[in-house]
Amino acid sequence: MNYNWNWGIFWEPTITGEGRYIDWLLSGLGWTIAISLSSWIIALSIGTVLGVIRTLPGRSVRMATGAYVELFRNIPLLVQLFLWYYVVPQLLPLDWQFWLNGLDPRVMQVGSVVLCLGLFTSARICEQVRAGIEAQPGGQKNAALALGLTLRQTYQYALLPMAFRIIIPPLTSEFLNVFKNSAVALTIGLLELTGQTRQISEFSAQIFETFLAATSIYFLVTYLVSVAMRLLERSMRVPGFVGGARS
Partner 1 sequence: MNKGLGIFVAAGLAAAFATISHAEELTGTLKKVKDGGTISIGHRETSIPFSYYDNDQKVVGYSQDIALQLVDAVKAHLGMTELNVNLVPVTSQTRIPLLINNTVDLECGTTTNNKERQKQIGFSTNFFIIGTRLLTRNGSGISDFPDLAGKNVVVSAGTTSEKVLRQMNEAKGMDMRIISAKDHGEAFVTLESNKAVAFMSDDAILYGEISKAKNPADWHITGTAQTNEVYACGMRKDDPAFKKVIDDQMAEMMKSGEMAKIYDKWFNAPIPPRSVVLGVPLGDEMKKLYAAPNDIPLQ
Please give the residue ranges that form the binding site for partner 1 (CB under 8 A).
1-4, 15-18, 86, 89-90, 97, 101-102, 104-106, 108, 186-189, 191, 195, 198-199, 201-205, 207-208
Query: Would you say 114 or 188 has its CB closer to partner 1?
Result: 188
Query: Would you say 17 or 58 has its CB closer to partner 1?
Result: 17
Query: Would you say 49 or 100 has its CB closer to partner 1?
Result: 100
Alpha-carbon distance 43 to 126, whole Å?
Answer: 9
Q: Provide the minimum distance between the beta carbon of 8 and partner 1 in the complex, in angstroms, as a whole number.
A: 13
Three-state SS letters, 116-181: HHHHHHHHHHHHHHHHHHHCCCHHHHHHHHHCCCCHHHHHHHHHHHHHHHHCHHHHHHHHHHHHHH
Query: Would you say 15 or 56 has its CB closer to partner 1?
Result: 15
Q: Provide the minimum distance between the beta carbon of 211 and partner 1 in the complex, in angstroms, as a whole number.
A: 9
Query: Would you say 47 or 195 has its CB closer to partner 1?
Result: 195
Half-sphere exposure at residue 173, Cβ-oriented, CA atoms within 13 angstroms: 6
How far does the chain reach from its first CA to its final CA, in angstroms?
Answer: 52
Q: Provide the minimum distance between the beta carbon of 202 and partner 1 in the complex, in angstroms, as a whole number.
A: 3
Q: Provide the minimum distance between the beta carbon of 100 and partner 1 in the complex, in angstroms, as a whole number.
A: 8
CB count in 10 Å sphere of residue 217: 17
Inter-CA distances, 178 with 5, 74, 103, 146, 167, Å: 32, 16, 26, 40, 16
Query: CA gyration radius for the chain?
Result: 22
Q: Provide the minimum distance between the beta carbon of 204 and partner 1 in the complex, in angstroms, as a whole number.
A: 6
